[in-house]
Structure 1
């Protein structure tokens, strides 16, 4: 993936190329992070080739008629699967649906289908599919509608590429939602004072930021951020530093986006009791009069109490996600000085 986040011309998984331009007609499930479903649905409603027929807590079901390229650039979902109830549905999709975009012979894996697993594997192999659990194009998983046939070439990482990851990195879909909430305008300065491996700054680069600023207390993650932002179009300034003492003048940045330490995998609640007030005070200081911050944390009570005690800022929106067994919230914080 380039630093701006643009998808490659063709989505790949392994060596073969998924045919994104072949017109297909199919019933598809786009899975996402719980909390991002509304944003995914909003994007899909803009597509004339997609009709929403159902919503789940972690995805959207659509009837789709068009090339998969129409869906490839959407950053609000992680996986795409064909929904089918039986072998006849798999055959139909292989003839005229999304499975027709998979190259011959299709490599497959059969996941947690219970007693259905081995018979399906044998039937697919007999019909010319190649069983390749470690290097598959299609992964069959259970679904309330029968079976979900996930397309490897439509995974988020297949469409946009791998990023270097820190242990508690923001997931790319959550980063996409956070930058949407930040409402970055072209040319604005965007700061992440807890940048980790830079996932949020990568998304900010794609969104038209004019300058990227990032800091982390760990030199390793500053290097990782630099790697993930290699070739970014906006100028990038990164440094090893403390979010409680930013080397920036007052009213200097337009947007702040950050994944704060939750106090679990990174840091501790006790540490956050001193970190959050100092970091929020610095964020309030460096934001412009019309500044906006989007901050992610699971230490929610402490965060909201800290904002209430921090002069010049207020919470205007909260979105809760479910990811990796955690339930963090993204808080949109604006400056009171802009009122």
Structure 2
């Protein structure tokens, strides 16, 4: 059975923490942590340095950061009153396990400090703390540890990006939410867990991705209607959907720009058709020029907001598209 790092989420702490996220999501993360009483000390393109006091559980509930780390300069303070004091690797007497990443010439000095000075155990294959150039990462507070890991397709939406898309959708209780490119179901899971939708609908042309989506939904106990369908011909009644969430094919890892030139007009036409009056779609793509031109040519919809994100060397945009009238 794989080793699972543990932390006492209900132990009050006081610490300066580095929260790393996706470029483009920093504002949402800052809003989240300020609501918890945290003070933002510094902003980075992909994260925040915050001062936080209180139990870890509310902070761990945020979906807008994927890594929480301690600055090595604050190591002693964190061991006394901070997140390192809340580590619980298997009882009060069990030593903390760690691994040291690529710190260059400082790697061995850090290893010796943690072993000789603190009694920690160097355990590269089963660890509680991962020491990297950006700080001491807390394994139990990785995003996948906090919320669970989903099966992924090659083009699956990053979980932090999925949280941003879901937030932008402004899903209201009881609304019908559609993902016409559902893949492994990441956006459907986030919609269910972050909001209170009524019906969740997911379609994809790939049967193998639909099987993966069904497994992810089952694992997270999310009820949704899945079906095999082309986004250019959705089996959904006109005006039956309140919100659309979708990670469109970028034409890079999946599909091509030439394919998108045919797909985008048809898919956006269907999205405009199935949306209710004043409905909203949040669509992620890196084929930006084609997307904007297609929206301009599609009746009854318009772009009202664009958020540029970054992941895996790409800089896709999340477009909020509104339905005009009925």
TM-score class, shorter-chain normalisation, is: over 0.9
Q: Deviations over 1:269-327 (max 9, x none)?
A: 00000000000000000000021000000000000000000011000000000100000
8 Å CA contact retained: 1:205, 1:233:
no
Gaps of 5+ in 2: 89-93
Q: How does 1:4-23 map to 2 (within 5 A)?
A: 14-23=3-12
Shift of 1:46: 0.6
2:98 counterpart residue number: 108
- Given candidates 126, 134, 144, the residue that maps to 1:157 is 144
Shift of 1:236: 1.4
Shift of 1:90: 1.8
SS in 1 for 2:131: strand
1:334 counterpart residue number: 322
Q: Deviations over 1:183-209 (max 9, x none)?
A: 100000000000010100001111111
Q: Following superposition, which runs of at least 4 residues in structure 1 exceed 6 angstroms of deviation?
A: 231-234
For 1:139 and 1:235, locate their aligned partners in 2 and report how far apart those are by CA, in whole Å: 36
Q: What is the root-mean-square deviation in Å for CA atoms of aligned residues?
A: 1.4
Shift of 1:63: 0.9
For 1:286 and 1:64, locate their aligned partners in 2 and report how far apart those are by CA, in whole Å: 44
8 Å CA contact retained: 1:197, 1:221:
yes
Which one is further off, 230-239 or 281-290? Answer: 230-239
1:39 counterpart residue number: 28
Matched, 1:132 2:123: yes
Q: Deviations over 1:246-288 (max 9, x none)?
A: 0111101000000000000000000000000000000000000
Q: How does 1:1-339 map to 2 (within 5 A)?
A: 14-48=3-37, 50-85=38-73, 89-103=74-88, 104-127=94-117, 128-143=119-134, 148-206=135-193, 207-230=195-218, 235-337=223-325
Shift of 1:231: 6.5
SS in 2 for 1:34: coil
2:91 counterpart residue number: none
Quickly say closer, same or farther: Cα 1:28–1:231, change in 2 above 3 A: closer
8 Å CA contact retained: 2:25, 2:64:
yes
Tell me how many residue pairs correspond in the alignment.
318
Quickly say closer, same or farther: Cα 1:210–1:231, change in 2 above 3 A: farther
Shift of 1:60: 1.1
Shift of 1:51: 1.1
Q: Deviations over 1:140-176 (max 9, x none)?
A: 1114xxxx11100000000000101111100111111
For 1:243 and 1:323, locate their aligned partners in 2 and report how far apart those are by CA, in whole Å: 25
Shift of 1:125: 1.5
Shift of 1:17: 2.5
Quickly say closer, same or farther: Cα 1:171–1:46, change in 2 above 3 A: same
SS in 2 for 1:220: helix
SS in 1 for 2:133: strand
Gaps of 5+ in 1: 1-12
Q: Output the TM-score relative to the length of structure 2.
A: 0.95
Quickly say closer, same or farther: Cα 1:308–1:267, change in 2 above 3 A: same
Shift of 1:112: 1.6
SS in 2 for 1:112: coil
1:4 counterpart residue number: none
